Chain A
Amino acid sequence: MSDQIFLELDRLTRVFAGTAAVRELSIGVAEHEIVTLLGPSGCGKTTTLRMIAGFEHPDSGRVVLESRDITGLAPQKRGFGMVFQHYALFPHLSVGANVAFGLETAGHSKQGIDDRVTRALDLVRLPGIEHRSVGSLSGGQQQRVALARALAPEPRVLLLDEPLSNLDAALREQTRRELRTLVKEIGITTVYVTHDQEEAFDLSDRIAVMRAGQLDQLGPAEELYHRPSTEFVATFLGRAGAVESIVDGKADGEVVRCRIAGDVVWSALAPEVDVGFVSGSKLRLLARPEALTFASTDDDAAVRGTIIDRRFAGSVYVYTVSVEGGKLEVQTDGEAGRPGDAVAIVPRGAPVGIFAFPPPLQMSE
């Protein structure tokens, strides 16, 4: 993003009982931008969000808002709205009182508070439920009240901690569209935490993929999908088969030639962080199912293998094929064989969706 950084996480580190939950994490969020922290459970994304909110104090590093260091600022003084995973609606207060809570602390007049509560509930499309008790609401309604409560005081930053994880699948999908529309309408800077890749794709301007307390890659969804910088990012966002390969020289630019399954050579995109792929060194080659197709078995550029699984995914089929040195996945429009069939696989064309990464052993420093 070219915009100036609005909210900056500067080398944040948080250690729990000797283990770094978050290590040297730096992310810049532009104004009006939605950035998602995406990663498996335990990757430190929630801890990061809580450091932004002020509930967690970093052991080192800074949280900076509009060039002002707010690392030591109490949560209640930050003016950030937060939606909690289990909503944390105050069970003893009515819906209206919940939404009004933040407005009261801000010292609005009674009339001003009522107006804003009404507006906030309208915004989340739950008009006129001020007097209901929060216990009488459905999960989806609770989620929206929690959002209305967070938005009512017009916070400068909105923080969402897996806010959709307690909704059922259909509602989740619908809600995340609405959420994006709403947040974009208001134009509020948002940091969103989830472990769900689809949710991240749907909602975010940019996604920060986290693993073991560190940032693997930060960028728009397309970039992460098409140019993953690590094997983890490649497999966490979308499917990919993987086989062992040996470098067979560098082609132009970011493309590296890889020998797989004995003597077949495919071109693959190497990560931007070029670790100096030397001919003869080992790499892992990952291929997205849609980047590959079946060919006739006498094709020289084809890798030969055996179908071991076939999945029907609605408009397409995805085949898992056992090949020398690994397994590949191939997506086809129609049926192309059954488990046990011998097949040959070739790339569809340019090295799109085929990546080469250093093997895991070398990756762990």
Chain B
Amino acid sequence: MSTALDRCHKKLTPRARLLVVAVFVALVWAVIYPNLVVLVESVRGDGTITLRHYAEFFQTPSELRALWSSIWISVATVVLSALVGIPLAFLFARYEFPGRRVLGALAAMPVLLPPLVGVIAILFLYGESGIATRSVQTVLGLDAPPWRLQGAGAILAVHAYSMYVYFYLFTLAGLARFDPAVHEAAASLGAGRFRTLTRVTLPLLTPALAGASLLTFMTSMASFSAPYVLGGGFRVMTTQIFNSKLQGEVSMAMVETAMLAAVSLLVLWPLSRWEGSREYVALGKGTRAARMPVKSQWAAIGVPLLACVGVAVLLLPHLTLILVSLVPDGTWTTQTLPPEYSLENYAQLFGEARTLRPILNSLLMTSAATFVSVALAIAVGQLVVRWRVRGRGLLEGMLALPWALPGTVLAIALATTFSVNQPWVGRFVLVGTAWILVMAYTLRVLPLTGRAALAGFRQLDPSLEEAAASLGAGPWRTLRRITIPGLLPAIAAGASLAFVTGLGEFVASIVLYTHRTRPISIEILSQLRDFDLGAAAAYGVLLMVLVAVAFTLGQRWIQGDRGAAV
């Protein structure tokens, strides 16, 4: 009778009420308020309200082009990622072959590369002077590089590389979730492979595919690293905003920010409602799975081979990054492969205060952000799931909102709101301090920890808490001894994701950093600008390792706890 429990509400104690008010105020102030400031700024004329800036936006071809580019790039990214991720998932989910487990895990490796690191790794590999590019040029004896990694095509390639993982993981999870008996049932009813796929498997996968599409679309809309580094003259909204801000066109930056936010929310709303519809038909994915080899001899050789080659391609950027990180400054000029290797770059990384600074900055700011976002998420979970306070929908919405808003939007909103000192309206000068970065990171990871905490609370059997109460434990003791330990697996998962996201954060950082507070990603960029590729790669490898460690620890914690669970 958990529903009965939920409905019955003990009246909240004054201290609990205080917590409710504090959580609401904190979230409204941090999540909603800065966006409202942007909205207000975007319609502010000389002391009046004006739509002049919006009119200007819609009359400027380059602005409209950027908006359109953002949208079509995102749609194309969804399609491409699906085409890579879904078949790959079917391959690993449906076929047993030597090395399946290892290869299957490796196929998710792009997730270890923070966006900017992925971009530079691909640059080192396929860029104009990249290893792959030079190899092809040498083999074919060409005078010029066979391709240029620039413009929309380059952005799309990077997007597909880093985001197919969403489709891959969602599809795997979707396939793992449903009972294999449904396939047997379909077979016993006379359905062949194709019919089973189209009538049973894909409909059952629809929620997973809709979720992956949504995630890919939103990530692509918010993508900044790839367009910024590889875009050249090709502009999308995020880079457009950044440029307006750089050039001091404040009002236009506000309008662009508002437009990007509006488009993101406009897409999010119907798409998230669509979950559960037959969306997969419209997207036309997955038919490839039906054409998968059926003859066992063919499959016995072909499938593992395909898996190996595929995974090798997926891992090349990681390997390149490691390779380049071993190249001493200035030794690699026109050769296909770097001629010299050493650990010099790593020694330098940890040897000097100047180069160590970004690492410490990232670790400290990310730890702080993770801690705050976890605490907030637990508080919201308690309010929403246990106390079922009024306005819990709003609370959940505020937790999720930073996910729907691109990082650039968030950063611009924070930079605008917290650049003046007006304490009576909740505005303080935070720009230039580490706090604004901590705040940005906290908001960016809040949806991750929030979702984890809510799921944790919902899975936690309320009768455990009742059992504690029946044994005389008060609310505080119950929270400490029962609720939080019970939530640990979920929180560990959320926190490790949050930590990983924060470590590699680039999009908001580039708007908010100062020299003193620069995180690793910014340092990578500046090393790249100085053509110190080795140092940039070494930072990239470091990030990759930190991310891998955080993931593994989070995972171990989850499993360790599950082992002891009933």
User: What residues of chain A have their CB less than 8 Å away from a CB belonging to chain B?
Assistant: 16-17, 21, 46-47, 50, 53-57, 74-82, 84-86, 88-92, 101-102, 105-106, 133-135, 142, 149-150, 153, 159
Contact = CB atoms under 8 A, between A and B. Distances in A.
A54 B468 CA distance: 13
Contacts of A133: 564
B406 to A, nearest CB: 39
Q: Nearest 6 A-B pairs (CB), nearest first? A: A102-B471, A105-B472, A88-B463, A75-B469, A82-B470, A88-B467
A46 B8 CA distance: 14
Nearest to A56: B8
Contacts of B516: none
B565 A76 contact: no
A76 B1 contact: no
Give the interface SS of chain A, mostly helix, strand, loop or mixed: mixed
A14 B482 CA distance: 28
Given A80-B470, A133-B564, 15 more contacts: A21-B4, A47-B1, A50-B1, A56-B5, A76-B472, A81-B470, A81-B471, A84-B466, A88-B461, A88-B467, A101-B473, A105-B474, A135-B566, A142-B566, A149-B467
Nearest to A149: B471
B464 A88 contact: yes
Contact of B566 (A55, A74, A91, A101): A91
B474 A76 contact: yes
Nearest to B489: A92
A85 B481 CA distance: 21
B8 A57 contact: yes
Given A16-B7, A50-B1, A88 B477 contact: no
B390 interface: no
A106 B486 CA distance: 22
B293 interface: no
B56 interface: no
A199 to B, nearest CB: 20
B477 A105 contact: yes
A75 B566 contact: no
A105 B471 contact: yes
A80 B469 CA distance: 10
A17 B6 CA distance: 12
A75 to B, nearest CB: 4
Contacts of A105: 471-474, 477
B184 interface: no
Contact of B470 (A53, A56, A106): A53
- Size category of the binding interface on chain B: 20 to 34
B564 A92 contact: yes
Contacts of A91: 486, 564-566
Contact of B467 (A47, A82, A92, A135): A82
Contacts of B482: 90
Interface in B80-115: none
A76 B470 contact: yes
Contacts of B10: 57, 74
B472 A153 contact: yes
Contacts of A57: 8-10
B561 interface: yes
Nearest to B563: A135
B467 A90 contact: yes
Contacts of A50: 1, 4-5
A102 B482 CA distance: 12
Nearest to A101: B471
Nearest to B474: A76
A86 B10 CA distance: 23
B45 interface: no
A221 B477 CA distance: 42
B485 interface: yes
Contact of B4 (A16, A80, A101, A134): A16
Contacts of A75: 466, 469-470
A74 B469 contact: yes
A315 B1 CA distance: 40
B256 to A, nearest CB: 48
B482 to A, nearest CB: 6
A159 B469 CA distance: 13
Given A91-B566, A101-B471, A105-B471, A55 B486 contact: no
Contacts of A101: 468, 471, 473, 481
8 contacts: A56-B5, A57-B9, A75-B466, A76-B478, A78-B470, A79-B472, A84-B466, A90-B486
A74 B10 CA distance: 9
Nearest to A46: B1
Contacts of B563: 135
Nearest to B463: A88
Nearest to A107: B472
Nearest to B466: A55
Interface string B3-23: 011011110000000000000
Contact of A153 (B4, B5, B471, B564): B471
A227 B270 CA distance: 63
Contacts of A90: 464, 467-468, 481-482, 485-486
A21 B463 CA distance: 20
A126 to B, nearest CB: 16
A324 to B, nearest CB: 45
Contacts of B472: 76-77, 79, 102, 105-106, 153
Contact of A84 (B463, B473, B474, B481): B463
Given A150-B470, A153-B471, A86 B1 contact: no
A135 B564 contact: yes
A101 B470 CA distance: 10
B485 A92 contact: yes
B463 A86 contact: yes
B553 to A, nearest CB: 18
A142 B482 CA distance: 18
Contacts of B467: 82, 84, 88-90, 149
B238 to A, nearest CB: 43
B350 to A, nearest CB: 38
Interface string B205-241: 0000000000000000000000000000000000000
Contacts of A81: 470-471
A77 B474 CA distance: 8
B469 A76 contact: yes
Contacts of A159: 470
B474 to A, nearest CB: 6
Contacts of B8: 55-57
Contacts of B561: 92
Contacts of A80: 470
A101 B468 CA distance: 8
A15 to B, nearest CB: 10
A133 B566 CA distance: 9
B349 to A, nearest CB: 40
B461 A86 contact: yes
A271 to B, nearest CB: 32
Nearest to B486: A92
